[in-house]
Structure 1
Amino acid sequence: MTNRKAIKNSNTSYILIFTCLFTIVSCIVFMPFMIENKSFIWISDGTDQHYTSLIYYSHYLRSIIKHLLTTGKLSFPMWDFKIGQGSDIITTLHYYCLGDPLALLVVLFPEKYMTNCYDFLVILRLYLSGLAFSAYCFYQKKDKTAAFAGAFVYMFCGFSLTYIKHPFFLNPLIYMPILFIGVEKILKKQSPSLFIMMIFLSAVSNFYFFFILTILTFIYAVIRCFCIEDISRNIKYLVQVMGKGIISYILGTAMAAFILVPIAMVMKQTSRYAESGTGVFLFYPLEYFRRLFLSFTYIASENYWDHADAVKNTITKDSYWSCLGFAATAVLVIILLFVSKNKKLKSVKFGFLAGLCFICIPAAGYVFNGFAYVSNRWIFGFAFVIAFSFTLVIPSLKKGISNFVWLGSALWVAAIFAVNTISIIMGYHKDFIGISISAGFIAILFIVERCRKYIKNDIFVYTFVMLTIISICINGNLFYNKHFGNIINEYSYRDEYRNNLRNSSLKAIKHIKDSTFFRTDTYRYTYDNAGELKELSSNESMLLGYKGLASYFSLINSNYSNYIQQLDIIGVLSPHRIYNLDNRTVLNELASVKYSIEMKEKKGDVPYGYKFIKNINSKREKAKLYKNRYALPLGYGYSTSMDTKDFEKLNPIDKQQAMLSNVILTENTDISGIEKGNYTSETVDVRYRKSSEKTIKPEYEKHYGENEYTMKPFSNSETYLLLKNVRFSGASRVNVIAQTKNIIKFAKFYDKSEIYYYGRKDAVINLGYYKKGISNFVVYTDAKGKLSYDKMEVISVPMNSYAGKVKELKENSMRNIKVSGSRITGKVNLKSNKLLCLAVPYSSGWKAKVDGKSARIYKANIMYMAIPIQLGKHQIELDYCTPGLLPGSFISLIAFFVFIGAVIINACASLSVFKHSRIYRV
């Protein structure tokens, strides 16, 4: 009892000291954020995705609780039209917060305090990762001082410092050490309950890192099995623990099936994990290894971060997410690790060598990243090895350090100096801070070592730990500091994003007095007069409460992405980052867009049929609100369908025009009363010529290779510029910009070497609708290089017959439409059989009923849905349930029963029989 109390007191003291020092180190590392009044919200993904998701998730959880308290019923909405054109809530938010137990804390924070919540969750995750690492060390009976140092190396490694911008990236640092404890318990024939629960928790938290953790856990188990002699020499024992581990893993995964099955179904189709530019390659470029070596103990190195472009760091491209940045004392630790003859260090040596191989081989990054593209986001596993090396090596420092180790450390510093010198010769920025820190710390340790006979052995150990902590503080602070790493520049000011959004013109949408279902097109994709993108999210509709077109999430409905790609829509940066439909009149019409907000200075980018309603003067900008006079409701009827093969032969402009007259079914099937329709193009190929006159001045800040063209204007028409098979030499990514006297637009192209490459070769740029037509336009790029293409066409689309075609669709539309959560209802009164097209992104989760009887849903017009309806009056009902949720939940239910049953049986058995098992340590 006394021994237990002593251990408890010791652990309490450890946690108190750990917490105090963590607070101090965090204040030093993150001081640039406090000085600059910045939050941990990263500009771009942080604002658009993470922060937005947390606010939305908070409202979502509160609405569930409120509904439960007021009605006594537990209800989980599964679909929301405020996400893109409509999207599944579970599969969209899972990657960011839904399933993460820590994210549940957002329910306690009102929206106005969400920035505080966001920052708190980042710090909490770092803190818990350190405690998890400490727990692993304690389980392995390691020295607490050594565990203390290792925990700080682990918490503040380069991966953590870099990925506070993606807060949930820190979760695997918490789960991994506890998973490893679970593995150790299985190897010792102890209960697998902890392992099973951690597999379950990892799986429900984030599918992507669950995949990475699975691989890392497997590698850990293999290394441990072959490094523990009693296991490696006993085949029967080895088979038993392997079988137990596999069964436990399957059970934990099955318990998470209610999340994993729906996610797996979406991932099968989503564009984010489809075509990728880089794929896998044999070798990294030499530049990668140069950056990697220099960043081992100094992540703020200007050789690691390309300051030629301050905000756009090269970690994503040149370093493939290989974030190292350990304490300067890691140099000494690694050398000590490998000169030691202690057999207990064998596992860590294997782990280090395996990690080193994985960092150097692109195929490893490709596998860890789910076979999408090369990315070393698994690097936190290597950080664990380095941190645990500290824990193992520090106790041996009491015995003294050989001259061979000091020589090795000196050679390491000399190598850093040599690489830095070569970097300067190659034209990179002069930066000797990293080498100064490493050399300085090693020199201090060398001096203290030489004074060992005058001091206690513990003094050297404490000095080593102290220098490790100081190195972490310097490394982290300089990484963010605007005078060094300048990564602070990538983060938003506190509450800046929310205030900008609340003060934007978009807030006016919610106050439009219109009780019908409608979508609103916004200006997010366009340039302002300075030639820069508007500082607004592409998910702003989720926060401002309106239905729009924009969506930016890793997992979005693949049909929306296919729609964008088939019609060569430029209102995107990638298939999962969609701003709008390029204001193309027909596409907006088919999407039930009724209102449009445009910048006040713009004149020619309003689609045909839109009339001015009023000016919107907000604190941020001036805008205009327009209303579509021909707006279609959510459901509208077609009399004819077009064969898919004929449809695919058309160019993107004719495809959109064809969908105005004929519904395009993915399945070529005969439906009673629906005739096969034909399409006759009404578009006009416009002849153009290069102009020697410069009547249009490029407005974009960076402009190269501008060419102006003149053409005959066509009245009452929408004009398009088509570029076929675009190629660009000079940069791996480029904006091809088209500009008239009134508008400026761009199409973004990536080289195949880019990780964001998704196959775009063509572009269709809407130059706008003009009553009198346009006669000039200019094409240029925002990067130096040579732009070429197979063909450039200018196509005019006359709008003479547009109103009549829309009227025909509208006459057979759905009335009395009500949208509530995951349910849509409405009525139709048809004079003949129709295919009712619903402007709802197709998903197998939708089930339809006509007059209470089940009706089949077809995929229509590439991304929408269609239901065959007979003539007469009918009641339409559609209900949504996340695909895979029910079978996944059934699997989870069975798995939980099995798990609980096994726990009860083992508990009963332990009461009657006490079994001894031999304990294996590191």
Structure 2
Amino acid sequence: MGNKTETGKRAYLRYTLWFLITGAFVFGWFAVSGKSMVWKFDGVYQHFNTLVYYGKYLRKILHSLFVEHKFCVPMWDMSIGYGADILTTLNYYAIGDPLTLLSVLVPGSLTEYLYAALIILRFYLAGAAFTAYCRYHQNEETGVLLGSLVYAFSGFALFCGVRHPYFVNPMIYLPLILIGIDKIFRKEKPWLYVIMVAVSAVSNFYFFYMIVLMMVIYAVIRYLMIYKKIRIRELVPCLGTFAGWSLLGVGISLPVLLPSAMYVLGTGRMSARNYVPVLYPLAHYAKLLNDFFGVDYTMASSRYYTVMGFAPILLVALLVLLVRWKKNRELKAGWLILTVLLLIPFAGHMINGFSYVSNRWIWAYGMLLSYILVKMYPEFGKLEKKERMALLVLGCVVLPAGELILNQYATLHGWIGIGMTMLLTAKIADPKHSWQQRQTTAFFLVTTLVSVAANAYFLFSPNQTNYIGDFREQGAPYAMLTAQAQNEIIQEIGDTDTFYRYDQYGNVARENTAMQNRLYGTDFYYSVTNNAVAEFLQEMDTSNSMEQMYDGLDGRTILDRLTGVRYFIIKKEKEQYLPYGYTEKVAENKKYAVYRTDETLPFGYTYSSVISQDSWDSLKVVEKQQAMLQGAWIKRTGNTEADLPETELSFSDVTPEYEITTEGDITISGSEYQVKEKDASITFHYQGVENCETYLVIEGLDYEGTATKFTLKIDRDNVEKKGAVYTCRNSFYSGKEDFLYNLGYHSEASSEVTLTFQQKGTYTIGKMYLSEQPMNMLDEQTEARKEDQLENLVIGDNIITGDITLDQRKLLVLSLAYSTGWKAYVDGQEQTLLQTNGMFCGLKLESGKHRIKLRYQTPYLIPGLITGLFSILLCMGIALQMRKKK
């Protein structure tokens, strides 16, 4: 088969041609199905939403620079959740990725086309980067082309590249970084390495961590190849060289990496204790052979993201590598290391940032297999007789036998993969084959194209797994974020006040749409959330199970008042879900109605007393929410106690006694509930009170069963609530075990609440009780908080200002998510900002008239910028020094 290499121009032209042909069989599914390339879940509300937002954001910066002649980079946005840092929230999705800068050129209504183009471009660049790596090592041209195609269109790319587009970015970065490593070993210029380390670190901290681990494995193997053994006199200088260039690349990235990384480390998901088994279930291992050839997207999450779907030629190349055991030891070492990591759950836990077990690093495994194909392709025609026989046995006997033994896990796709593997194996092992170049090249290229097309067919086709059905119709995504979002009806009201929030219940969640419509809401769904908000929701035992996703405040009147909710969106004919006080209907359309209340708190409200941390810790959750309408809770963070008297708290909640009856096969033994059939239930019979909200409080909830997520349904009269709960074996688990379910406001007394367990299993509940919260005192307590409030409020880019006049010393609470990035100034003098009422900001004020000013700056941004600038200058200095030496 020769050892022919080709010029760079020819190599990339061939790759581009075959990429376009292959891509037609992959991306064509979207065109013929009338689908956009926006996944209907995270795709709309996270990825596409962020790209639209980022385009507007960049255009706003340019407008301020060239039209208003001022340089202003907004760092905080009140319309993201309860207010959030823009950089640290959106870096994971767009900010930092060089490709997303193109969004500045495209209006939101056309971003769907840019979104699709960037997905295809990422696939293309992944293969092009792999081509560059192979060409750097002077590999044979056809092998490089085959390897680039199967790498670019691996099952991971097909599944994740359209689901989470930035998941393909590490496939672009790693080959280029590995070239940089080899350049350093060869004492060539290090700049490719430095630049790509910086780009990958800026682009996405999550995958940069994985890339670093793969870099270490690669560098160690390369070191042993070059030096054969470890000697201190060679190892120390080598480590110093790599450490220096790596630190330089990371240093350049720190303006983005440092704030983002520090933000992530403060989230609850990072500290949650995730379940890590010693081994995967036996069925998982049994399915791996079948998984090698295809992607079952419905099982990706439950299968720890072990998404392979490789072309059969990769398995054939691997078999060739194994039968030629004495050669290519570095490839064998790499394959053995990564295979062992793939088979051990702890490795998935470690490589996933010591979070839940996930093999999202499998794209690196795909790169290794693709490179094995590149190296083995010239060897296909050079096998000795014993090697051909061993290959035939493995490919035509062992593999089919294995699939037969594991037939209960086999699929049609898997059997087709086995059949194609047998065909390829037989051809390679045929001693009579002449290996004429054109015919051989055509055969392998066509079979590879057929393999990728088959993968796409089984993945996307409505007649197979119908992954295409999970994508939105063309033209739908932007409309869903804007004109079709429920909050669009709020804009129609025309309320011109500077600040108010809206809440909702019973609607299909469309998180993050407030950031497109420039409204202030109570929903949020991004992977990285403000820890103060997460802690507040945890303190309040809200019914949401994911700290990074919350859809309102469950209609809890006190919490809505504390957060400034003026408008409540409800589905028509579902008024029983309205909180207390929302009696004025101010807008409606075919689906939704909006109700207003004036009994809510403004952006800045005041307290004349505080709740100590010790008092707070002694309260039940239903008492905590009442307490915050009476006194301010200041989180203890060093010497930050307000110089105000202790609040004399009074509580009006009622905890009724009850009797329990059961329905279905359920056995109660102390705190343990053995549920032996789905939808078994328990009913609480009690004597309720009038004019109140009814809560079911569950503390210390645990579950043992087959599911990693279970659902509780709670009913009171005509109100039904459902709550999804994640176990420690689920990737969305964040350690939450306490929940309060609001069963709505009612003027008449209730007498029954039913709790239904919708999955079989053993439920352990540390404590469970009913609580009823009368509304009698709420209006009076709300008015007391509004007695002195912030006036002349202006919310600008990174700055909030207002005025307040007090006749006594008080604590001003601002309905602004707490962050250390906020600096407060009272009458021009900086003052400590206190974390108050869980997630908000507080200021101690003396009597008199005060001018309040808050200024925001992303935490760690300045140290990152200084280090980044220094690193760039250092690079320039080193480059000049190198030029002088040359």
Deviation per CA, 1:759-786: give whole Å up to 9, x if none.
2222111111122233333221333445
Q: Give the C-alpha shift of residue 173 in structure 1.
A: 0.6
Partner of 1:335: 319
Partner of 1:434: 414
Cα distance in 1 between the residues matched to 2:319 and 2:219: 25
Partner of 1:513: 494
Q: Give the C-alpha shift of residue 615 in structure 1.
A: 4.0
In the TM superposition, what are the counterparts of 1:51-90 in structure 2 within 5 Å?
A: 51-90=48-87
> Paired residue for 1:153, among 150, 169, 172?
150
Q: Give the C-alpha shift of residue 512 in structure 1.
A: 2.8
In the TM superposition, what are the counterparts of 1:127-276 in structure 2 within 5 Å?
A: 127-164=124-161, 165-229=163-227, 232=229, 236-276=233-273
Structure 2 residue 867 is the aligned partner of structure 1 residue 884: no
Q: Give the C-alpha shift of residue 29 in structure 1.
A: 2.1
Any conservation in 2 of the 1:398–1:460 contact (CA below 8 Å)?
no
Any conservation in 1 of the 2:294–2:413 contact (CA below 8 Å)?
no
Any conservation in 1 of the 2:274–2:355 contact (CA below 8 Å)?
no
Q: Give the C-alpha shift of residue 598 in structure 1.
A: 1.0
Secondary structure of 1:878 counterpart: strand
Unpaired segments ≥5 residues, structure 2: 665-676
Q: Give the C-alpha shift of residue 691 in structure 1.
A: 6.4
Cα distance in 2 between the residues matched to 1:659 and 1:481: 54
Partner of 2:694: 719
Cα distance in 2 between the residues matched to 1:406 and 1:49: 52
In the TM superposition, what are the counterparts of 1:472-871 in structure 2 within 5 Å?
A: 472-501=452-481, 502-523=483-504, 526=506, 534=508, 536-570=509-543, 572-618=544-590, 622-667=591-636, 674-690=644-660, 704-730=679-705, 731-785=707-761, 787=763, 789-871=765-847
Secondary structure of 1:682 counterpart: coil
Any conservation in 1 of the 2:392–2:429 contact (CA below 8 Å)?
no
Secondary structure of 2:299 counterpart: coil
Secondary structure of 1:828 counterpart: strand
Cα distance in 2 between the residues matched to 1:416 and 1:745: 51
Residues 1:32 and 1:703: Cα distance change in structure 2 (over 3 Å) = farther
Cα distance in 2 between the residues matched to 1:793 and 1:517: 40
Deviation per CA, 1:697-750: give whole Å up to 9, x if none.
xxxxx9711344443242221221112333444432111111233322122222
Cα distance in 2 between the residues matched to 1:726 and 1:342: 56
> Paired residue for 1:367, among 328, 339, 350?
350
Structure 1 stretch displaced more, 476-485 or 206-215: 476-485
Aligned residues: 867
Q: Which amino acid aligns with 1:823?
A: I
Q: Give the C-alpha shift of residue 458 in structure 1.
A: 5.4
Cα distance in 1 between the residues matched to 2:560 and 2:678: 30
Any conservation in 1 of the 2:503–2:553 contact (CA below 8 Å)?
no
Q: Give the C-alpha shift of residue 472 in structure 1.
A: 2.0
Q: Which amino acid aligns with 2:542?
A: I
Residues 1:504 and 1:212: Cα distance change in structure 2 (over 3 Å) = closer
Q: Give the C-alpha shift of residue 480 in structure 1.
A: 1.9
Cα distance in 1 between the residues matched to 2:428 and 2:399: 23
Let me know the Cα RMSD of the aligned residues: 2.4
Cα distance in 2 between the residues matched to 1:728 and 1:267: 28
Structure 1 stretch displaced more, 103-112 or 671-680: 671-680
Structure 1 stretches of 4+ moved >6 Å: 691-694
Secondary structure of 2:64 counterpart: helix
Q: Which amino acid aligns with 2:784?
A: E
Any conservation in 2 of the 1:603–1:742 contact (CA below 8 Å)?
no
Q: Which amino acid aligns with 1:475?
A: N
Cα distance in 1 between the residues matched to 2:118 and 2:129: 16
Residues 1:809 and 1:522: Cα distance change in structure 2 (over 3 Å) = closer
> Paired residue for 1:315, among 300, 303, 308?
300
Cα distance in 2 between the residues matched to 1:363 and 1:856: 43
Residues 1:669 and 1:579: Cα distance change in structure 2 (over 3 Å) = same
In the TM superposition, what are the counterparts of 1:2-13 in structure 2 within 5 Å?
A: 10-13=7-10
Cα distance in 2 between the residues matched to 1:742 and 1:851: 53
Q: Give the C-alpha shift of residue 449 in structure 1.
A: 5.7
Residues 1:158 and 1:402: Cα distance change in structure 2 (over 3 Å) = farther
Unpaired segments ≥5 residues, structure 1: 1-5, 306-312, 529-533, 695-701, 911-922
Any conservation in 2 of the 1:32–1:488 contact (CA below 8 Å)?
yes
Any conservation in 1 of the 2:704–2:763 contact (CA below 8 Å)?
yes
Any conservation in 2 of the 1:659–1:861 contact (CA below 8 Å)?
yes
Any conservation in 2 of the 1:640–1:663 contact (CA below 8 Å)?
yes
Secondary structure of 2:305 counterpart: coil
Any conservation in 2 of the 1:635–1:813 contact (CA below 8 Å)?
yes
Cα distance in 1 between the residues matched to 2:237 and 2:885: 19
Q: Give the C-alpha shift of residue 418 in structure 1.
A: 4.4
Partner of 1:456: 436
Partner of 2:670: none
Cα distance in 2 between the residues matched to 1:796 and 1:444: 71
Any conservation in 1 of the 2:532–2:839 contact (CA below 8 Å)?
yes
Any conservation in 1 of the 2:584–2:597 contact (CA below 8 Å)?
no
Deviation per CA, 1:215-274: give whole Å up to 9, x if none.
111111110010124x75775444333211110001110111111221122122112322
Residues 1:398 and 1:669: Cα distance change in structure 2 (over 3 Å) = closer
Cα distance in 2 between the residues matched to 1:448 and 1:854: 76
Residues 1:111 and 1:902: Cα distance change in structure 2 (over 3 Å) = same
Q: Which amino acid aligns with 1:676?
A: E
Any conservation in 2 of the 1:186–1:241 contact (CA below 8 Å)?
no
Any conservation in 2 of the 1:519–1:549 contact (CA below 8 Å)?
no
Residues 1:283 and 1:454: Cα distance change in structure 2 (over 3 Å) = closer
Q: Give the C-alpha shift of residue 581 in structure 1.
A: 1.1
Q: Give the C-alpha shift of residue 413 in structure 1.
A: 5.3
Q: Give the C-alpha shift of residue 17 in structure 1.
A: 2.2
Partner of 1:385: 368
Partner of 2:380: 397
Partner of 1:308: none
Deviation per CA, 1:135-185: give whole Å up to 9, x if none.
111111111111111101111112211211111110011111110110011
Structure 1 stretch displaced more, 708-717 or 864-873: 708-717
Q: Give the C-alpha shift of residue 599 in structure 1.
A: 1.1
Q: Give the C-alpha shift of residue 671 in structure 1.
A: 5.9
Partner of 2:309: 325
Structure 2 residue 87 is the aligned partner of structure 1 residue 102: no
Structure 1 stretch displaced more, 647-656 or 86-95: 647-656
Cα distance in 1 between the residues matched to 2:324 and 2:663: 76
Any conservation in 2 of the 1:332–1:405 contact (CA below 8 Å)?
no
Any conservation in 2 of the 1:616–1:624 contact (CA below 8 Å)?
yes
Residues 1:12 and 1:183: Cα distance change in structure 2 (over 3 Å) = same
Q: Give the C-alpha shift of residue 441 in structure 1.
A: 4.8
Cα distance in 2 between the residues matched to 1:215 and 1:763: 38
